[in-house]
Amino acid sequence: MKKILLTTTGLIALGMAPAIAADLAARPYTKAPAMVAAVYDWSGFYIGANGGWGTSHNCWTNTAIGGVPVAPTSEGCHDADGGTIGGQVGYRWQAGNWVFGLEAQGNWADFSGSNAIAPFASNRTKIDAFGLFTGQVGYAANNVLFYVKGGAAVTDNRYESVFFGTVFDRSEQTRWGGTVGAGVEYAFAPNWSFGVEYNHLFMGTNNYNFRTVVGGINTRNDDIKQDADIVTARINYRFGGPTVARY
């Protein structure tokens, strides 16, 4: 059997060249779609829990005895420290890389401490709880948020004098002041984030009326100056979509 060699001329003669030429024509070029970067969005309501440690610095000055004013006399200072645990709720909104927010925080605390004022006698301070009501301004580097905060603070306090190991007189008060702080937060899942935060509380100086535990007799008045430093670890759950598309 003879081999048949088909040349271009032969294909033209057979009428096959136009069809083959059409099949071999270059396919049209399609541009690849633009890359889309997924960027974490911090906007939305969130709720969370926190825990850590705090210390409160307290300075006592006697101003009255039995309701009678006296020359102010220092009774010394002490630190009241211990653990704390609580929760927070807030809302954030993001504009570009800037993040703004409002937050309310409430914590149980066990900050306690004392200093001696005479042989077998001491003044003792205990903070049972505190709250923070703050605004925030932050900068987001995708899923990492750096922020500063400031606003109002409130502490629930118990002040006591102890003689020979027994509480003699007491004053229990809630006091208001201000706070400033800073923190960093890392989003480790679509709606979950973990952070560390520091707050300083400026509680000022208040005057307190002390009364005996037995009988409620007015014993004295003291000015007590207070401030506090608190460090907590926090975990938050944010309601809303985790990311936005950025081209």
Report pLDDT digits (tens) over 34-84: 554 568 999 999 999 999 999 999 999 999 999 899 999 999 999 999 999
Q: What is the pLDDT of residues 186-238, one digit of tens each?
A: 999 999 999 999 999 999 999 999 999 999 999 999 999 999 999 999 999 99
Strands 37-40, 243-246: pairing is antiparallel
- Please determine, for residue 20, whether its predicted confidence score (pLDDT) is greater than 90: no
Q: How many residues does the chain have?
A: 247
Output the CA–CA distances (angstroms, integers) from residue 56 to 17, 53, 90, 95, 222, in the order listed.
Answer: 94, 11, 26, 37, 17
User: Residue 64: enclosing H or E segment and its boundaries?
Assistant: strand 44-65
The separation between CA 46 and the C-alpha centre of its own chain, rounded to angstroms, equals 11
- Please determine, for residue 2, whether its predicted confidence score (pLDDT) is greater than 50: no
Q: Encoding tokens for residue 191? A: 């709606």
CB-CB contact of 127 with 156 (8 Å): yes
- Please determine, for residue 11, whether its predicted confidence score (pLDDT) is greater than 50: no
Compute the half-sphere exposure of residue 97: CA atoms within 13 Å on the CB side of its CA.
7
Q: Worst-scoring range by mean pLDDT, 18-32, 157-171, 175-189, 209-223?
A: 18-32
Residue type for position 58: N
DSSP string, 130-144: EEEEEEEEEEEETTE
Q: What is the pLDDT of residues 100-138, one digit of tens each?
A: 999 999 999 999 999 999 999 999 999 999 999 999 999
For the CA atoms of 218, 220, 225, 230, the dihedral, rounded to the nearest 10 degrees, stands at -50
Q: Encoding tokens for residue 48? A: 């969370």
- Please determine, for residue 86, whether its predicted confidence score (pLDDT) is greater than 60: yes
Residue 183: closest CA among 39, 40, 44, 48: 48
CB-CB contact of 175 with 153 (8 Å): no
CB-CB contact of 179 with 133 (8 Å): no
Stretch 162-187: mean pLDDT: 96
Compute the half-sphere exposure of residue 211: CA atoms within 13 Å on the CB side of its CA.
7
Q: Which residues contact 239 (CB under 8 A, 6 or more apart)?
A: 44, 45, 46, 191
Neighbours of 212 (CB within 10 A): 14
pLDDT value at position 15? 53
Buried b (16+ CB within 10 A) or exposed e, 217-244: eebbbbbbebbbbbebebebebeeebee
